[in-house]
Chain A
Amino acid sequence: MLRDFKVIKVNNLNETLQLINSINEPYRFICGGTDVLVKAKDNPSYAKLLVDISSLAELTGIEERKSTFVIGSGVRHLQLIKYPAFNKDYSALVQAVSNIGSPQIRALGTLGGNIGNASPAGDSIPALMVFDADIEVRSLNSNRTIRLQDFFKGPGRTVLEKNEIITKIVVPKFEGYKSGWKRLGQRSGFAISKVSSAAALSYSTHPNGSLKLTDIKIALGAVAPTVIRVAETEKFMKAEQTLTKSMLKKACDILKSEIKPISDVRSNAEYRTAMAAELFSQIVEETVPVLK
C-alpha cells in the first residue's frame, strides 16, 4: 500500500476557506479518514495532498433550530446515533448511520465524509434524501445551500467547487412521518451495501378504514451512479393515494423500471433491481403494518 501524500493541517474554518481559495494543486479533505485514507492507501494517485479538517470545531455539533436540525459535517456517526431527537422521529437516519461500518469506523467516520465521498452505496445518503436534507457549503466569499438530491454528479463526484467545503447538513423537522432504511450486504454484519433503500411517508386512516397516503419519499442506493430518488414511483403512489397490497406491488414494478443497476464484484443487476423494490416494500410494510 504505497502512501504518497502531503498533509496540511488546518485549525479553524476561516483558515481552511482561505487555504482552499488560493490552493493550486488538487487536494482532498480528510476528517475521519475511513474513506479517504482507505482510498489513498489503495491507490497512490488518489490523493497527493490531504487537508486535515479533523480539528475544526465549527464543523462539530448538532443544533436544534425552530424548523430544522443542523448537523455539523464533522459530526461522527457515533455522535449522530446517540442524538435523542433523531432516535425519536428519524428512524431511517439512525438505522442507516448505525449500519455504517463497524463500531470502530463509526467512531471515526463523519456525515460530511459519507456525503462528500459520494459513493452510490453511501449508507447515510438515502436516509438524508428522504428527509429532504440540504447541504450547506461555504467558500471564502460565498455560502450556498444545495439540495442533497442535486449534490451528486456521479460515483465519487459532487458539485463542490475546488474552493468549497461542506459545513452543515440541514434536516427539516417533520410531523407525522414514519421512515425506514434497509440494505443488503454480502453477510449479516459490517459490509458494503449491495443495495439499499430508504423511505419516509405519511398517511391517514380514512373513516372507512382505508389508508390514504399523503406523502412519500423514496431513495435508493447502489442502483445507479449516485443515490437517487425514484420520482415516478413517488408520483404514482401519491396519485393513487389508497394504500393497499396491490398498489404497493404496482409501485414496486414502477420502481424496478426506473432503475438500471450494474453487475459488479458484489452482486448482479437483476438481483439488485429486484431487491431495491423488495427492500422498499418491506420498509412500507413495517411502517404501515396493516399492509403486511
Chain B
Amino acid sequence: MPDKKTAENALEPMSKIQVKFIVNNKDINVTVPVTYTLLDILRYELKFTGTKEGCGMGECGACTVIMNGELVTACLVLASSLEGKNVITIEGISEMPSAKPIIDSFVKHASVQCGFCTPGMVVASYALLSKYESPTNQQILDGLAGNICRCTGYTKIVEAINEAAVELSKNKKAEVK
C-alpha cells in the first residue's frame, strides 16, 4: 500500500486517516474519519464495547484505557495521535491472570451496581496495582481521582482494591516460592 504521507500531500488537510496501532496485543490497521477518537475506534470500528462513553469530554473516566503504559481517557485521544501506540482495554485486562484478583474482588465486595463506570474503575485499579504493591489510602484515592461513579459512593470500590492488593501480593510471594 503506498504510503499516504508523501512529501507533496503530507500537508493537506485530511478527512480520513489510516492508523496502525496495537490493541490488547493485536495489530490494528484501520482507516477512519479524522474526527474519530480512540474511543470511537474501539467501540465502532473494532466492536470493543467494554470501554464506555459517559461524557466524551475526559471528565468521567468511563472510557479509561491504558495507552503506552499510562491511564488515559480514550475520548480525548484523536485518531491522528494513535500511530504506533500500545493500547490495553478492559477486554484485554479481563483476560490477564494478574487482573483476576481485581475482578474477583470487585464482584465479591458488591463494588458494582449499574456497572457503567466499572470497566474504567477496573482499568484504573489495574494500573494502580501494577504501580504499587501495597497502595496507601491516599494512593488509591489519587489513582481513582479521574473515575466518577454515581451509584456506589466509592467505599466498596476502595475496599475491593485493598483486598485485591493483598491477594496479588500473596500470589507474587507464592510465585517467588
Contact = CB atoms under 8 A, between A and B. Distances in A.
Interface of A: 1, 3-11, 15, 18-19, 30-34, 37-38, 41-42, 49-50, 52, 54-55, 78, 101-105, 107-108, 189-190
21 contacts: A4-B35, A6-B15, A7-B80, A9-B14, A11-B5, A32-B76, A37-B37, A41-B57, A49-B13, A50-B34, A54-B80, A55-B83, A101-B58, A101-B146, A102-B73, A104-B64, A105-B76, A107-B70, A108-B58, A108-B72, A108-B76
A30 B78 contact: yes
A108 B67 CA distance: 10
Contacts of A18: 11
Contacts of A101: 58, 146
A190 B147 CA distance: 10
Nearest to B4: A9
Report the 5 A-B pairs with minimum CB-CB distance, sorted nearest first.
A102-B146, A6-B13, A107-B70, A3-B35, A7-B34
B73 A108 contact: yes
A49 B80 CA distance: 13
A190 B146 contact: yes
Contacts of B12: 8
A54 B81 contact: yes
A125 B78 CA distance: 25
Contact of B71 (A49, A107, A189, A190): A107
B13 A7 contact: yes
Given A7-B14, A105-B76, A190-B59, 15 more contacts: A4-B35, A5-B35, A9-B5, A11-B5, A30-B80, A33-B77, A37-B78, A38-B58, A52-B81, A103-B124, A104-B72, A104-B146, A107-B71, A108-B73, A190-B146
B17 interface: yes
Question: Considering residues A3, A101, A104, which has the most beta carbons from chain B within 10 angstroms of its beta carbon?
Answer: A104
A104 B58 contact: yes
A37 B39 CA distance: 13
Contacts of A30: 78, 80-81
A7 B145 contact: no
Interface string B1-44: 00001000011111101000000000000000011010000000
B78 A50 contact: yes
A42 B143 contact: no
Contacts of A31: 81
Interface residues of B, number: 35
Contacts of B37: 37
A34 B58 contact: yes
Interface in B37-61: 37, 56-59, 61
B95 interface: no
A217 to B, nearest CB: 29
A10 B7 CA distance: 11
Nearest to B123: A104
Given A7-B14, A19-B11, A38 B57 contact: yes
A120 to B, nearest CB: 20
B175 interface: no
Nearest to A79: B70
A78 B67 CA distance: 13
B66 to A, nearest CB: 9
